[in-house]
């Protein structure tokens, strides 16, 4: 068993390390922008721009200031957090199904795509997985033993999860609701202690309340998705679903049944909250906002797999292997790596464009960052401080380009007017124009970047000769020279 665990551990680590040094993607550049300066600057930048608490960013700040700016240093806190989550998930599963359950749960989680991606993504989701695991472990132990240290795990895990990202609070609500609905859980964890612990959690997260309220009052800040992704959210549990659901013999105890029900309820609560918030106008029906359900479902799956006979393990194991394998292969084909890291080649694109712009002497660079915030103000005006962040990869010096900001959406009256009036006048006298454009998935658009190229060709027929400066995943990099 130890050899198998070591093999899968090295396999999962290898998948991550193979791409952890690759280019950052758009949201990771926002992280870099938030943590590149002093600690006080980070504390000011994150709440006002990121819509999150500074909790995760404190770890990212410490990493790059300790090890120096690099993609690896920026992603290191996420890698360590997910590795820690794998261990804690094992302990949680052990409480339900023993050592075999711990091994199953840890390995299934470590090799799952959700955990792999969170490991190489410099965003709060890896840290959220860790604290969700701590909260689940603490909740299970508090309900089965009621010791002070177990309750401390529950309090710390719950508070840490909310501080990692506010959107995961419903997951904890599901666990709390299960405690109220299942009298069995109150036999060793008295209501007096439970409510005292909830009060402690509330006090620990109280400073975040003001910002949470501000986010709820501004749903447009979450309008970055062109369409919801319900299948992606459901897909979070697809690898583990059969293993988590299968009945086993002998029957579980009443406490075990109640604890499993609490994990299912936590999963359902997170899914339901995403649907409700999206219906209310803030589009959050995306897999990243459901990540923590993987913690509860994989604990359930580990417990079940440990209780199945060898002949019964084959079916859920094949489902897991098939779904995970197909996901990794598809990710490799579409995004360039098994983990998905480096799927936007910003570093390579900017490096290709840098000498061209330097030789062109102040030529305008039409720039689409892909940030939804670029549409929250007048077109062409840089209002969001992290809009230019992708132009500087870790360790690189800032650029002094003549940037002409494009919009986020193509289908917009404001965009049409901006192009027809301001942008046309801006580019009319230019002998050279550059384009650095992040691809768009906007429904009904022939890709934003392709539309910009077509607009240039139709606005000035035959005037400019376009030339691609290379092939970069999800980015269009071109040079337009005026014909003589």
Neighbours of 116 (CB within 10 A): 24
Share above pLDDT 70 across residues of the chain, in percent, rounded to a whole number: 95
Q: Is the pLDDT of residue 219 over 80?
A: no
Q: Confidence class of residue 419 from pLDDT cuts 50, 70 and 90?
A: very high
Q: Note the pLDDT of residue 443.
A: 72
Average pLDDT over residues 141-163: 97
Distance CA 156, CA 150 (A): 10
| Domain end marker among 285, 308, 335 | 335
Average pLDDT over residues 120-149: 97
For residue 305, the SS3 value is helix
Average pLDDT over residues 237-250: 88
Q: Are residues 254 and 382 in the same domain?
A: no
CB 266 within 8 A of CB 298: no
- 374: containing domain: 346-482
Dihedrals phi, psi of 239, to nearest 5 degrees: -65, -30
Q: Note the pLDDT of residue 318.
A: 96
Q: Is the pLDDT of residue 6 over 90?
A: yes
Q: Are residues 176 and 278 in the same domain?
A: yes
Q: Are residues 251 and 376 in the same domain?
A: no
> Does residue 340 fall inside a structural domain?
no
Q: Note the pLDDT of residue 467.
A: 96
> Does residue 341 fall inside a structural domain?
no
Q: Are residues 331 and 391 in the same domain?
A: no
Q: Are residues 328 and 420 in the same domain?
A: no
Q: Is the pLDDT of residue 307 over 90?
A: yes
Q: Note the pLDDT of residue 212.
A: 64
Which among 336, 385, 356 has a CA at the least distance from the CA of 47?
A: 385
| Domain end marker among 335, 359, 375 | 335
Q: Is the pLDDT of residue 309 over 60?
A: yes
Q: Are residues 325 and 421 in the same domain?
A: no
> Does residue 191 fall inside a structural domain?
yes
User: How do residues 12-37 score in pLDDT, each as one tens digit?
Assistant: 999 999 999 999 999 999 999 999 99
> Which residue is it, tokens 């934003």?
448
Q: Say which residues have a Cβ less than 8 Å from residue 400's Cβ, sequence separation at least 6.
A: none
User: How do residues 427-460 score in pLDDT, each as one tens digit?
Assistant: 999 999 999 999 977 776 668 999 999 999 999 9
Name the pTM for this structure.
Answer: 0.95
CB 106 within 8 A of CB 272: no
User: How do residues 163-186 score in pLDDT, each as one tens digit?
Assistant: 999 999 999 999 999 999 999 999
> Does residue 222 fall inside a structural domain?
yes
| Domain end marker among 289, 308, 335 | 335
Q: Are residues 351 and 329 in the same domain?
A: no
Q: Are residues 289 and 365 in the same domain?
A: no
> Does residue 112 fall inside a structural domain?
yes
Q: Are residues 322 and 352 in the same domain?
A: no
Which sign does the torsion angle of CA 457, 459, 462, 466 carry? negative
Q: How many domains does the chain have?
A: 2
Q: Confidence class of residue 283 from pLDDT cuts 50, 70 and 90?
A: confident
Q: Are residues 351 and 454 in the same domain?
A: yes
């Amino acid at each position: 068993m130890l050899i198998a665990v070591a093999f899968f551990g090295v396999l999962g680590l290898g998948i991550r390390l193979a791409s952890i040094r690759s280019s950052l993607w758009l949201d990771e550049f926002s992280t870099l922008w938030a943590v590149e300066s002093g600690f006080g600057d980070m504390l000011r930048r994150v709440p006002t721009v990121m819509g999150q608490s500074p909790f995760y960013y404190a770890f990212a700040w410490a990493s790059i200031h300790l090890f120096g700016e690099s993609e690896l240093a920026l992603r290191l806190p996420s890698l360590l957090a997910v590795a820690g989550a794998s261990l804690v998930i094992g302990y949680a599963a052990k409480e339900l199904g023993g050592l075999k359950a711990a091994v199953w749960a840890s390995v299934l989680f470590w090799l799952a795509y959700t955990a792999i991606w969170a490991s190489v993504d410099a965003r709060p989701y890896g840290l959220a997985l860790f604290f969700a695991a701590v909260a689940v472990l603490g909740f299970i132990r508090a309900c089965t033993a009621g010791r002070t240290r177990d309750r401390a795990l529950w309090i710390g895990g719950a508070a840490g999860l909310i501080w990692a990202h506010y959107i995961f609070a419903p997951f904890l609500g599901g666990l709390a609701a299960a405690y109220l609905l299942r009298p069995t859980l109150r036999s060793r964890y008295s209501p007096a202690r439970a409510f005292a612990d909830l009060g402690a959690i509330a006090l620990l997260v109280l400073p975040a309340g003001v910002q949470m309220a501000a986010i709820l009052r501004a749903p447009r800040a979450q309008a970055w998705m062109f369409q919801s992704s319900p299948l992606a959210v459901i897909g979070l549990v697809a690898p583990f679903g059969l293993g988590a659901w299968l009945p086993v013999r002998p029957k579980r105890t009443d406490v075990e049944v109640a604890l499993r029900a609490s994990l299912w309820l936590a999963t359902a609560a997170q899914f339901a909250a995403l649907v409700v918030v999206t219906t209310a106008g803030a589009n959050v029906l995306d897999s990243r906002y459901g990540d923590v359900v993987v913690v509860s479902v994989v604990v359930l799956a580990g417990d079940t797999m440990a209780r199945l006979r060898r002949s019964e393990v084959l079916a859920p194991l094949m489902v897991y292997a098939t779904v995970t394998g197909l996901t990794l292969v598809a990710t490799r084909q579409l995004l360039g790596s098994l983990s998905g890291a480096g799927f936007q080649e910003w570093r390579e694109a900017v490096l290709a464009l840098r000498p061209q712009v330097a030789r062109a002497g102040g030529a305008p660079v039409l720039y689409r960052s892909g940030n939804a915030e670029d549409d929250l103000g007048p077109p062409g005006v840089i209002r969001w401080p992290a809009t230019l962040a992708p132009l500087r990869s870790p360790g690189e010096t800032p650029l002094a380009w003549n940037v002409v900001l494009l919009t986020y959406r193509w289908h917009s009256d404001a965009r049409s007017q901006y192009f027809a009036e301001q942008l046309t006048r801006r580019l009319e006298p230019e002998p050279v124009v550059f384009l650095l454009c992040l691809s768009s998935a906007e429904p009904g658009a022939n890709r934003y970047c392709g539309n910009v190229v077509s607009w240039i060709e139709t606005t000035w027929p035959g005037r400019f000769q376009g030339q691609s400066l290379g092939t970069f995943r999800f980015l269009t990099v071109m040079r337009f020279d005026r014909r003589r």
